[in-house]
Chains A and B, each alone.
Chain A
């Protein structure tokens, strides 16, 4: 095959007309949904299987089970031996991996488009036939403990975030880290993973997302062929734990080897449940963009560049999730400035919006970025599949994405001001502070600036 055939999109304009009916969706008899986003720019495809099961479905003492099972999914079935899954994907010219979140567990392959059927065969096999081998588990749990050491134990900011979360939620399972507490990893067994797998890895608790140079009808047919034979099974009841209302600020400190302190202010925040009726989550998204959406957005302009109280500062908010929400203000104070000064400066930015609101120019700027982002997003097939998968994972539909985009564009200055007043309430606040410790316990070297 020549490259010219491989890359027709480089040679002839391909307009967006075909995108109108995109994506496409069907549901197999066993309850497995299949969603296809056609994108013919290059001869590749992304195949993802999403399970509606994440760390929030775990119980105390078994944190990390969802993620550990994700690791074990590569350890073999009766027909595909341990490690063979990766080998077969690699042989097909593919790349594969998986990720576990609080809300879902997902597996993906990026492949030359003609390999899609093979990938479905592999995923369908491990959807119902995984062999959770105790010997394999014994090795793999060590890998997971190393992963925890790398990602959390030796990373002061990750540790701060973990402990802040644990303080912000008393009851809701979002208080537990996705990777699991080390003690839970040390006590985990293959038996508990097998039980997890048997309960949740069924077609009626999963959906497949495919994006790329594919025909949706052909993909539906392949899906029927490979996934259609798997039997549905009733799912265990899920207990939705309700976080009690927070009734006053909470403060935690984490001491860890580091040079610089850091600070997180986490406020309880709403989550989008009804894309047509809800308003506040959209307004908080716009507020986030106005504070932090570009280099001259308020936080960077005022706190980093003008007042130099922060080396960096930001806002984090995800308006979609299965569980409860938080909006975070975070930052690192500049040398010679304290965490308390930074906290006051971050709060002052919110107070200013409460008093004065935001400008039309700022809103317009945010809209321009949203519109451009829509085009840029189409440059990544993987990103398009992720958007569909994540939207579905939190109980919304990919069909809501368009509604959400429209609603974001409609947010008014008054709505932004209203959510600034409503949600940044100290009674729902958790403050996390990283208190940096010298590596050797000795006093730190003097700041360089004092030597010159």
Chain B
């Protein structure tokens, strides 16, 4: 069992990761009486609060044959709750200048609220959020309407080369695993309101939730807010993870399309959140394709050959093994040649790793740009919520630069050798000649 999962199962106790003498962004963490973990950062400058409630209720929990259920459940969650219908919720929040949002990805379903902290704004805005957590209506007519909109949206997405390529990439990377199961018009068409109610009942509970708060609050206020939000949820139990994805296996998927450009994705399942190789891979990938205009992929594919406007690579660690992905778009007739160049860059990088000069440049940027990752409440919230949700160490931000600086070229090479085997790469093209 992964550390993150253990954390989910720990008993209720209050844990404060107080700032050590040299620490900085103070993430205060505790667990509510109802079993919800809380992450709080006091940001006293602006009279506003950002709240994010995350449930382990992303698409990885979609039952077989019901792909799209997680997203649809999240989509209809706030369309009527407690004493308010969907119109009343939207109007009241607009009257308060508050913004309710959120979405579902592979791992998480999130509900977010941004509000002013003046009492006459904060209290009623939080009351709406509590209702959404406590008693969503899942009105039958609204469910049918949103289902129809989702189907139409998916049909349209399936005519767009980037969407087709994206879905095919995940399907090809994760055969037999929920990460590979993509919502289709057909899978959505089978969903019923009962499915939504059951999915919600199974996963939207206090033990399977996490609350993150960033804003102008005292610890005492944050505790009271978190207690009330958590109390709106049934106690429940944490979600059980599906069996992990199978290891990487080479595959090629070529899909026809009349577009002028081929959309190309290469990649494989690489690492999960919390993997100790994360920092060597992050630093190494900066040189390969993560460092924007200065990466090897951009130099070879864009600058030298003019093949693409956008070419990049990244690791997306998830709860379970997330992908390493390279992406680009190029004129369809030169797709083969572009793939050959990309593979050449990748092969060379995996075989030799970065030069000392490249390594130093990667560290200088990743370490030097660290303050840019945290210079707004919105960015703090995103970081804090991810740290909490994935059970990363509470001193993750404090030690980020140190971890980056400590990476060696040999570690980069070793980590890539473990996780990015070029012979196991999946290649997906849409609209390539």
Q: Which residues of A contact B (CB under 8 A)?
A: 2-7, 9-15, 41-44, 74, 82-83, 86-87, 90-96, 110-112, 138-147, 149-150, 153-155, 257-260, 293-297, 301, 304-305, 308, 311, 332, 334-335, 364-365, 368-369, 371-373, 375-376, 378-381, 436, 439-440, 448-449, 451-452
The minimal Cβ–Cβ distance linking B49 to chain A, given in whole angstroms, is 11
Neighbour of B306 across the interface among A110, A112, A140, A448, CB < 8 A: A140
Report B70 CB to chain A, min CB distance, Å. 20
Given A3-B397, A83-B299, A375-B46, A369 and B372 contact (CB-CB distance below 8 Å): no
Q: For the complex, give the distance between the alpha carbons of A311 and B155 in Å.
A: 13
- From 88 to 123 in chain B, residues with beta carbon under 8 angstroms from any chain A beta carbon are 88-91, 93-99, 114-116, 121
A4 touches B303 (CB 8 A): no
Please determine whether B145 and A305 come into contact, CB atoms closer than 8 angstroms. Answer: yes
A95 near B372 with CB under 8 A, answer yes
A10 pairs with B42, CB closer than 8 A? yes
A90's contact among B19, B45, B186, B292, by CB below 8 Å, is which?
Answer: B292
Beta-carbon contact of A7 and B25 below 8 Å: yes
Say yes or no: A4-B22 contact (C-beta < 8 A), given A143-B309, A311-B152: yes
Q: Chain B residues near A332: list those with CB within 8 A.
A: 152
CB distance from B15 to the nearest CB of A (A): 20
Inter-subunit contact B365/A90 (CB<8 Å) = yes
Q: Give the shortest distance, in Å, between B16 (CB) and chain A (any CB).
A: 16
10 extra A-B contacts, CB within 8 A, seeds A6-B24, A260-B155: A4-B24, A10-B42, A13-B44, A13-B45, A110-B372, A296-B90, A296-B94, A305-B87, A365-B91, A372-B96
The 8 closest A-B pairs by CB, nearest first: A93-B368, A3-B24, A372-B97, A142-B306, A296-B90, A42-B375, A86-B293, A295-B90
Residues of A within 8 A of B375 (CB): 41-44, 381
Please name all residues of chain A whose beta carbon is closer than 8 Å to the beta carbon of B87 when the two chains form the complex: 296, 301, 305
Q: Tell me if A9 and B43 are in contact (CB < 8 A).
A: yes
Q: Determine if B378 is an interface residue (Cβ-Cβ < 8 Å).
A: yes
Distance in angstroms between the alpha carbons of A139 and B309 in the assembled complex: 11
- In the complex, whether B167 has a CB less than 8 A from a CB of chain A is no
Q: Is B293 touching A150 in the complex (CB atoms < 8 A)?
A: no
- A314 to B87: give the CA distance in the assembly, Å: 17
Q: How far is the CA of A378 from the CA of B377 in the complex (A)?
A: 10
A452-B189 in contact (CB<8A): yes
Known contacts: A12-B44, A44-B375. The answer to whether A373 contacts B97 by CB under 8 A is: yes
Q: How far is the CA of A311 from the CA of B158 in the complex (A)?
A: 16
Binding site for A on B (CB under 8 A): 19, 22-26, 41-48, 86-91, 93-99, 114-116, 121, 142, 145, 148-149, 151-153, 155-156, 158-161, 185-186, 188-190, 256-261, 291-294, 299, 302-310, 329-331, 361, 364-365, 367-372, 374-378, 397-398
Number of A-B residue pairs at CB separation under 8 A? 239
Complex contacts, A112 vs chain B, CB 8 Å: 368-369, 371-372
Residues of A near B99 (CB, < 8 A) are: 376
B23 CB contact (under 8 Å) in A4, A13, A144, A311: A4
User: Is the pair B98, A372 in contact by a Cβ cutoff of 8 Å?
Assistant: yes
CA distance A62 to B371 in the complex (A): 41
Chain B CB within 10 Å, residue with most, of A15, A41, A297: A41
State whether A87 touches B361 (Cβ < 8 A).
Answer: yes
Contact (Cβ within 8 A) B86 A296: yes
Contact across chains for A257 and B260 when beta carbons are under 8 A apart: no
A250→B89 CA distance, assembly (Å) = 40
B186 touches A139 (CB 8 A): no
- Complex-state Cα separation, A111 to B375, whole angstroms: 11
Asked if residues B156 and A139 are in contact (CB atoms below 8 Å), the reply is no
Q: Give chain B residues whose Cβ lies under 8 Å from the Cβ of A10.
A: 24-26, 41-44
| A41-B375, A90-B291, A90-B292 known; A257 vs B259 contact (CB < 8 Å) | yes
Residue among A4, A6, A9 with the highest chain B CB neighbour number at 10 A? A4
Given A90-B291, A257-B259, A365-B94, residue A14 in contact with residue B44 (CB < 8 A): yes
Task: Name the residue of chain B whose CB is nearest to the CB of A93.
Answer: B368
